[in-house]
Amino acid sequence: MPRFQTLLILCAFAFPLSAVEIQRLSPGHSPRPGDLVEWELAQPPAEWMQADPRHAPFLRITESDGTVFERPAFLFQAHRVDPSHRQGEYKALGEVSLRIRHSPRQAGSLRWDLFAPRADPETATPLASDTLSIAPGRRAAGAIAQAPYNHRLLAYPDGRPFIPIGPNVAWALGRDRLATFITYLDALAEVGGNHVRVWCASWFGQIEGSQPQQWRLDQAWLLDQVFTAAAQRGIAITLVLDNHHDFQVGDNFPYGSSISERGNNFFSDNLAPGYRARIHYLIARYAAFDNLKAWELFNEIDLTGLERWRLVNWARSASDFLAGADPYMRLRTISWAGDDWPQMRELPRINLYHIHRYVPHTDHLGPGDDDIIAVMAGDVTPLMDARRPFLFAEVGHHGNTAEDVPGNALDQEGLILVHMAWAGFLLGGAGPGMNWWWDSWIHEGGLWHLYKPMRQAIDRIDWRDSGLRPMSVPLDADLRVIGWQSPHQALVWPQTVQDNWFKALIRQSDNPFAGRRFGLTLNGMETGRRYSVTALDMFDGSLRMSSEAESDENGRLRLALPAHDGRQVLVITAISHP
């Protein structure tokens, strides 16, 4: 069906008959698998204008391979940024309408049938039907998921590895929040980043209003623009649906006037009706974006202060509900601020673990806080036998506010960003650790370039190698090595306990190992194989060493390392395969 072709539907919901128009709005070209296809229902009957998409009309979509999707309509209103309003508020354009979105999975002929609300598509007569030709695509369409060749990693539907690189970009502030947010996306894309974590916050992107099921369509439009801008730049999004701050203060969190009421109403095992409606709305509106990497049910849910058993029961119900409602099967996760929480971690519908780890505020440092790599290694220990990927989704210096982060003020070079990002990945994570201070530190301090060496090094490894495993970490050795290794290749960071933020930023003391030329032996490599050994600077990506080495008859690869400074990552690849 060509762009803007309109079908008229006569709807006998009231007397006299009303005419409803259905248009395909996008894309302008013949759609390909993975494109966002959008239809609009103009001038629908009042009975169709429902906040809960379960009570709205829907398209039954049959793909060329016979797969069926039922995609409900959702309330939509276009907006534009109005700079005359405080913090760049949004001006509504036109009337509220209904839209429907789908991301085709297969090339070929796609058939759609429009049904009235609550109709049984097996017995009811469609209000309208048509076909849509889906052109062959340049890539496989579908959800980012656990890699079939390595349970610790993520992959695109065609098996290409997806290593998420980037910090949190949870929101933007200022007179034009959308433009500011896009500035962050541009900066990340320029250095090869491909992933951010975005909050649905009361001040940015949360569609909840002050009353149940009164969606803030301006914030919903804002999220549309965020997803679209990110997709155009090749950036995936983890979308955080709720957070402890909005729960505590009750801002656009319409589940009670007190923390006690909100706790009872929202964290019900049966899930609040308004919450169920919101999840259905979010799925109807955003689940078809193929750059939606994951839904995060709640940020730092333990900081609500409620009983842990109640929170676990709610998370079980919410993750079950989300898994059953999302036809595209995006990843599902949840986060907490404290130490390991086995009951939460073991929920069957949570298929991506999120870990939060901060260097304590300088006023609250304790024993062991200087060695953040050892702390992070302790965080992952309970996950090493799990069959699900994990990600350090928040890391960095801790602060009471964005203005009170002494560690950031001291850390002008971005040392903790580099250390915690690389450690988050090289300890077995699905990607580098995600720093929290994207605006007040990374952007203001010009630290985006620190992500480029990660992209350079990661792209040199074949992550489809099913033999890749995180290395064991000898924390008490003079030289400890963290990284990924298989018999064919390795990505490793040789470092010492002296290579830490505390000695560099607080004590400002010399590293006694600086300049020492360590030797490193990797066991378990192929026998009698020559390897290329490249050392890259973790801060600027410059080439520090390029050489070759050969493993012995026992698969031991002995390397002479460059003068030690704790800033080098080694990329080791077999020169030829058998």
Domain boundaries along the sequence of the chain:
6-134, 172-352, 470-574
Angle at 58 between CA 56 and CA 64, to 5 degrees: 165
Dump the DSSP string for 347-366.
-TT--SEEEEEEEPPGGG--
What is the distance between the alpha carbons of residues 90 and 93, in angstroms, rounded to a whole number? 9
pLDDT for position 275: 98
pLDDT for position 86: 56
pLDDT tens digits, residue range 112-132?
999 999 999 999 999 999 999
CATH number given to 172-352: 3.20.20.80
**Quick one: pLDDT band at residue 26, thresholds 50, 70, 90?**
confident
Name the residue among 405, 456, 460 with its Cα closest to residue 435: 405
The domain 6-134 belongs to what CATH superfamily? Answer: Immunoglobulins (2.60.40.10)
Question: What is the mean pLDDT of the segment spanning 425-442?
Answer: 98
Q: Which CATH architecture has domain 470-574?
A: Sandwich (2.60)
pLDDT tens digits, residue range 228-247?
999 999 999 999 999 999 99
Cα distances from 228 to residues 13, 141, 329, 373, 385, in angstroms, run 35, 16, 20, 36, 37
Does pLDDT of 476 surpass 80?
no
pLDDT tens digits, residue range 321-361?
999 999 999 999 999 998 889 999 999 999 999 999 999 99
**Cis, peptide link before residue 27, omega less than 30° from 0:** yes
Does pLDDT of 529 surpass 90?
yes
Fold match flag (172-352 vs 470-574):
no
